[in-house]
Structure 1
Amino acid sequence: MFSGSIPALVTPFAADGSFDERAYRDFVEWQIAEGSAGLVPVGTTGEAATLTAEEHFHIVGVCVDQARGRVPVLAGAGSNDTRVAIHNIKAAKAAGADAALMVPPYYNRPNQEGIFRHFEAVAGSCDLPIVLYNVPGRTVTDIAVETVARIAHAMPSVIGIKDATGVIQRVSAQRAACPEGFEQLSGNDDMALAFNATGGIGCISVTANVAPRLCAEFQAACAAGDYVEALALHDRLFALHVALFTDASPGPVKYAVNKIRPDFPKALRLPMTWPSDASQRAVDAGLAAAGLA
């Protein structure tokens, strides 16, 4: 269902802090025109933690409506409360999403049995496909390889994983342990080359917000087995990949998007802020290295 370059979409806010639907629809349209293979609304990069539940699934619905079936929509829907996660996956389905992207419970830090039981309850509540999102750097909860495999074998609606652990060996370990066809997507742009070379099939990307065509071309080269071209594109984008995390995300990526598309709103919702001067300089250098400025 998901492969290639899939942007984790930033969410535009008007000067008064409200969701800017017109800017979002324009942005989604641009992403599709530039070759993005899927869309992830209201994930971490989309400032989901600052949205109300009503806003969250309204934005999912807007993304689905604008995409019009041309690419699949993978809606952020996780929670550290299993009951809320069940509500979220049902709301994502009602909004028209093709699948739900779900982190394991964060902050309360369940053990591996608790993680399994959480996803068992969520998957049992709704038939919407689920992509696991393992990002222990944010959740402080790591889905062990053995638990990923246990979930994948027990729950057919869990179709893949966004792996942001930063541990390349996991791609091979999970490929060996999970059912054939289990989709592995990188959660780190700077590691996507190695991730794909060891069995991944795409990236849920921050950089694709800024450079969607280059990211799509990079993923297409990987899919074709042309790792000479893929390496050249990786090298071209590498400084930008790094620069987009020189301050708290999504500050740098919103700054970068505004540089590429000056009509895109600059606003973030607290506690997220505009990036520092040093971060802005790094992004400017990354854009120049990629040939985008």
Structure 2
Amino acid sequence: MEAFVGTGVALVTPFKSDLSIDVDALHKLVQSQIDNGIEYLVVLGTTAESATLSREEKELVKAEVKKANNGRLPLVLGVGGNNTASLVNELQTGNLEGFEAILSVSPYYNKPTQEGIFRHFKAIAEASPLPIILYNVPGRTASNVLPETVNRLAREVPNIIGVKEAAGDIVQAMRLINMVPEDFKVISGDDMVALPMTLAGGKGVISVIGQGFPKEFSEMIRLGLKGDAKEAYKMHYKIAPSIDLIFAEGNPAGIKALLTKKGIIENYLKLPLVEASENLQKRIDHFVDNF
């Protein structure tokens, strides 16, 4: 399958009780994705708690994911922020070996205009030796990258190859899919609308729940890419309740609870994030037991 089409997963960062990186669990997580049909892996995205990882921890995660993957799946690296000059420097000087693309979130907190967003992404794309996938997630950044801005970037900046669209707005997603060049990848960043976006012409998803149910979720998206809506929606409705569960108390608390139930990781997060409540953990456990 063409690169970055299908299901990518935004990997969590497993921790031990002392909050050091659990390398064994990280290898186990990567292997489970490969064994169950995931098309590519996203490293150090929001789900990885990258905001609270030190530089040394980030380098360890990168190295261990590459070691566990051993060249089997394409790897995408999360490199984002709200300081354009700092990102340019990171992309020019950082160790990007072994990665095939960069996922970069729209600048948060600063609340730039659409022109500011355009210039930010143009600057980092021109500095990056790897292709850029934009990441639009207004719920975290406080600004929406409009379809017109994405389309402008797609047409004017050759090194920008796609967008992870997580505005949670299917109408905006459809406008975007209809607007951009045919070879530009519109990828869902919202698990609940991943299938309808794919059926509308999107290229799949970068998923959170996908790493909890990699076999089923990736097969659902492959059915969607083939236009088999009836069979794909059967799987969607089977998985959908778990999507609500894992986001009920924020990400990645929910998916870490689910992965803990499945015996892949231990359930530790770094402050200010905390583990899922006992009630939510029980509900997630019940869903997994009856899936």
TM-score, with length taken from structure 1: 0.94
Aligned length: 289
Match for residue 285 of structure 2? 284
Distance 1:92 1:28 in 2: 23
Deviation at 1:48, TM superposition (A): 0.7
SS at match of 1:244: helix
Change (3 A) 1:125 1:248: same
Aligned partners of 1:61 and 1:95 also within 8 Å: no
**1:216-255 pair list within 5 angstroms:** 216-255=218-257
Match for residue 108 of structure 2? 106
Distance 2:152 2:239 in 1: 36
Distance 2:90 2:193 in 1: 30
Match for residue 155 of structure 1? 157
For 2:53, give the aligned amino acid: L
Distance 1:247 1:200 in 2: 28
Deviation at 1:93, TM superposition (A): 5.3
Q: Does 1:51 pair with 2:53?
A: yes
Distance 2:175 2:226 in 1: 23
For 2:9, give the aligned amino acid: P
Deviation at 1:79, TM superposition (A): 0.7
Aligned partners of 1:99 and 1:128 also within 8 Å: yes
For 2:285, give the aligned amino acid: D
Match for residue 71 of structure 1? 73
**1:144-293 pair list within 5 angstroms:** 144-261=146-263, 264-289=265-290, 291=291
Query: Once superposed, what is the RMSD of the aligned Cα atoms?
Result: 1.6
Distance 2:162 2:148 in 1: 14
Aligned partners of 1:8 and 1:204 also within 8 Å: yes
Deviation at 1:92, TM superposition (A): 6.0
Identity %: 37
Deviation at 1:56, TM superposition (A): 1.8
SS at match of 2:48: coil
Deviation at 1:203, TM superposition (A): 1.0
- Greater mean alpha carbon deviation, residues 103-112 or residues 58-67: 58-67
Change (3 A) 1:176 1:257: same
Q: Does 1:11 pair with 2:22?
A: no
Distance 1:127 1:17 in 2: 33
Distance 2:272 2:124 in 1: 29
Deviation at 1:175, TM superposition (A): 2.3
**Unaligned 5+ runs, structure 1:** none
Deviation at 1:206, TM superposition (A): 0.8
Aligned partners of 2:174 and 2:197 also within 8 Å: no
Aligned partners of 1:131 and 1:162 also within 8 Å: yes
